[in-house]
Structure 1
Amino acid sequence: MRYRQTGLWSHETERATPGFTLIAPLQCDGVHLIGMNGEVRHSWQTPSKPGNYAYMLPGGHLLWSGELATGPNPGGGKGGLLREYDWDGNIVWEYEDDHQHHDFRRLSNGNTVYIGWEKMPVDAKAEVQGARLGSEDQGGIIWSDYLREVNPSGDTVWEWHAHEDETLLAEPLHSMSTRKEFAHCNSVAEIPGGDLILSFRKFSIIAIVSKETRRVRWHRRDDSWGQQHDAEMLANGNILLFANGIHVETGVYHSRIVELNPKTGEDAWVYRGSPWPSFFSPNISGAQRLWSGNTLICEGLPGRIFEVTPEGDIVWEYVSPWFGGPWQGGQINSVFRAYRYEANGPEIEGRLGAVL
């Protein structure tokens, strides 16, 4: 998949949010901070392509996941190697679990939580509803998800297992899905109070898991999201997510960014492309609400990253120039997620000087 032009497409300096954007190309090694004009301002060298993505921590550190060759990979998003780098690329923390996939977060207590795959027990498999019968993995395996929290020493201090939660077991998988995986958790994030918000692709569910009870305490299913990604709770208590828009009944596939009010169940804000099909990624992808009120969107499959105003105007647009593969018979420039950071914020702390 190639655009005719990569790099910066447009930049409205008066309305775009100044900062540096972090990109971890999905099929290449290396992580890059780019300026508003698309220029690379800083990079970290990594030993492999990412286990999806990376993001910055305070003090100029980077938390990154790399893809290991061992362990299962039933549904994409494989990682396995978690590493924290300092600004100069030195490894300051490392943890391995070759069942880790998709997402990982540094928590407010200094621990790290991540998603992993595990085989469903026989009794739990019998309760899985929906999807295409006979489409389990080899040997009839259905892979479920777990969350594991580890402290800086690598000790496990908390776990949660999707197949043990009655709320999720009561939900049927999408009819178009395979039964290789139950749930397919693709994002985890901490919310105020310490509970965790999760996104489950296989049945278009957003859920909040209580750290105390280890049970889903709130969830919302909306098949119109079309197997969403990247659920994040905003400062106003609403939930921002990337609605991929596959296996839906709209007549034409297209993606949306949805800001959901979890108390009312109503959409507080929605972004669509114009026309709708001009914005579409069937997998990966994410969105970040910026400090200006604008939203940074990562249209993951085609590697397009752009910023929109609350009115939906595009004020900054960039296409990743980093291609790798092979993927589906060719080279691709996909990006799982992208994040923007303030020049003098706690992550960069002025290390790159002014935003050009």
Structure 2
Amino acid sequence: MRYESLGVLKIVPEKVSSGYTLVPTFRGRVVRLIDIDGTEVHKWDLPGRLGSLAYLLPNGNLLCSTVTDDGPPVRQAKGGHLYELDWSGGVVWDYVDHSQHHDLRRLPNGNTIYLGWRAMSDTAAARVRGGIAGMEKEGKIYEDYVREVSPKGETVWEWAVSELEIERYPLSDGVTRFEFAHANTCLPLPNGQILLNFRNLDLMAILNKETREFIWEKRNIMWGRPHDPHLLENGDILFFANGSQDIIAPARSNIIQFNKETGEETWRYEAPMAWTFYSHVMGGVERLSNGNTLIVESVSGRIFEVTPDCELVWDYINPDFDAIFPSSKEPGNAVFRAFRYAPDSPQLAGRLE
């Protein structure tokens, strides 16, 4: 993709949500914190190339993962080395699982949960339905697991997708068969449950950690390989609908909010010209304190903010072309997810003065 300009392209000061935006370049070596004008106010130099997610903990430290060479032959959004870095970039905590991918989150009790891959047993793999026939990885299917580890690195809880009634969850049309089922989100909820999202199933679900069962789930192939669901304070679900396999042309992404109980759509963002907003992989979204929505159009490195009326009030193109994007031969500026922090938030309070 070619850009006419980089950095902040548009700002409506009286309507934008104040604060600082964390911009972690996918596979980059630096995570930057910028103000509304796009000026860098802080940065973290990483111990390696970023796996995917990076975000600030309430103590101001950065939680992230970097890419390792070892692990299974599945590489999408792979990490492998989990880090907590202090404000100066010093290592506070680290943990290695070469199978870690996509998401990782710090729990209130100090433990950390994350997503990982492992090869399914032949018996379990034989039960997987759907996907493109013959597109296993070296004859194997790799399943997702969610693991919780203590600060000492001890596994205290773990769950894997093979615990599901596998036949009830066929892979979506057009996806490969080497992953069941490409989880990309493991978001802890206030009640201790976990909101999960499975790209290759077009499925999001809430997992009860104690019963090890889904207590809520919704699937819709028209989402087109979704990412980054959130449970809002009013009980709605907000997420990034990629539109990767949408049968309606042209290809375009949407941000969708719906009532979790009824399934009724309550809000949607779609670009005025549909084809101008599209990320076939990755994608992020965040509801801001003033009611606006921060959106990450990942592949193009674009982060933008819209009002509840879908007015564009902040538009930014990541100028950090630091990494080779998968399937590309040129340096890329992709951003897996981004986060906006208020000046007086616990993450930033007193640190930028």
**Which TM-score bucket, shorter chain as reference?**
over 0.9
- Give the counterpart letter for 2:157 in structure 1: W
CA distance in 2, matches of 1:117, 1:32: 29
Residue of structure 1 equivalent to 2:333: 333
AA in 2 matched with 1:202: N
Please give the alpha-carbon distance, in whole angstroms, between the structure 2 residues aligned to 1:27 and 1:75: 12
Asked whether the 8 Å contact 2:202–2:220 carries over to 1, the reply is yes
Taking the aligned partners of 1:65 and 1:157, their CA distance within structure 2 comes to: 20
CA RMSD of aligned residues (A): 1.1
Q: How many residues align?
A: 351
For residue 252 of structure 2, the aligned residue among 248, 251, 254 is 254
Instruction: Give the residue type in structure 2 aligned to 1:255.
Output: S
User: In the TM superposition, what is the alpha-carbon distance from 1:48 to its structure 2 partner?
Assistant: 1.7
- Give the secondary-structure state (helix, strand or coil) at the position aligned to 1:306: strand
CA distance in 2, matches of 1:29, 1:74: 22
Does structure 1 retain, via aligned residues, the 8 Å contact 2:66–2:82?
yes
Q: AA paired with 1:314?
A: L
Q: Would the aligned equivalents of 2:53 and 2:104 in 1 still touch at CA under 8 Å? A: no
- Aligned counterpart, 2:121: 121
1:104 corresponds in structure 2 to 104
Identify the residue that residue 220 of structure 2 maps to in structure 1.
222
Deviations 1:176-205 (A, max 9, x none): 111011110011101121100011000100
Paired position in structure 1 for 2:162: 163
Q: Is residue 77 of structure 2 the alignment partner of residue 72 of structure 1?
A: no
State the shift of 1:283 in Å.
0.5
Distance 2:42 2:72 in 1: 33
* Residue 198 (1) aligns with residue 196 (2): yes
| Matches of 1:231 and 1:52, distance apart in 2 | 16
- Specify the alignment match of 2:306 in structure 1: 308
Name which of 214, 228, 231 aligns with 2:229.
231
What SS does the aligned partner of 2:200 have? Answer: helix
Q: Aligned partners of 1:32, 1:73: CA distance in 2, in Å?
A: 30
Contact 2:202 2:225 in 1 (8 A): yes
Deviation at 1:73, TM superposition (A): 4.1
User: What TM-score do the two structures reach when normalised by structure 1?
Assistant: 0.96
1:126 Cα deviation from its structure 2 partner: 1.2
The aligned amino acid for 1:340 is R
Aligned mates of 1:73, 1:150 — CA distance in 2 = 23
The aligned residue for residue 346 of structure 2 is: 346
Kindly indicate whether the alpha-carbon contact (under 8 Å) linking 1:279 and 1:299 is maintained by their aligned counterparts in 2.
yes
Distance (whole Å) between structure 2 residues aligned to residue 73 and residue 320 of structure 1: 29
Tell me the amino acid that sits aligned with residue 283 of structure 1.
V
Contact 1:27 1:333 in 2 (8 A): no
Q: Is contact 2:232-2:238 (8 Å) kept?
A: yes
Report the AA paired with residue 175 of structure 1: D
Query: In 2, Cα distance between the equivalents of 1:307 and 1:73?
Result: 36
In structure 2, stretches of 5+ residues that fail to align are: none
Residues 102 and 186, structure 1, Cα contact 8 Å, conserved in 2:
yes
CA distance in 1, matches of 2:143, 2:219: 18
Matched, 1:267 2:254: no
Correspondence 1:299 to 2:279: no
Given that 2:29 and 2:322 are in contact with CA atoms closer than 8 Å, whether structure 1 keeps it comes out as no
Q: Counterpart of 2:216 in structure 1: which amino acid?
A: W
Give the whole-Å Cα distance in 1 for the aligned partners of 2:297 and 2:303.
6
Deviation at 1:47, TM superposition (A): 2.0
CA distance in 2: counterparts of 1:68 and 1:126, whole angstroms: 30
Q: What letter matches 1:331 in structure 2?
A: P
Give me the whole-angstrom Cα distance separating, in 1, the residues matched to 2:324 and 2:42: 26
**What secondary structure is seen at the aligned counterpart in 2 of 1:44?**
strand
User: Quick one: distance in 1 between partners of 2:322 and 2:91?
Assistant: 25
Match for residue 285 of structure 1?
Answer: 283
Residues 27 and 323 in structure 1, CA contact (< 8 A), matched pair in contact too: no
Percent identical: 44
Q: What SS does structure 1 have at the residue aligned with 2:197?
A: strand
8 Å Cα contact 2:26/2:323 also seen in 1: no
Q: How far did 1:264 drift? A: 0.6
1:88 to partner: Cα distance: 1.5
Instruction: Confirm or deny: 8 A CA contact 2:78 2:102 kept in the other structure.
Output: yes
The whole-number CA distance in structure 1 between the counterparts of 2:167 and 2:56 is: 35
Residue of structure 2 equivalent to 1:37: 37
TM-score by length of 2: 0.97
| SS in structure 2 of the partner of residue 172 of structure 1 | coil
Contact 2:73/2:137 (8 A) holds in 1? no
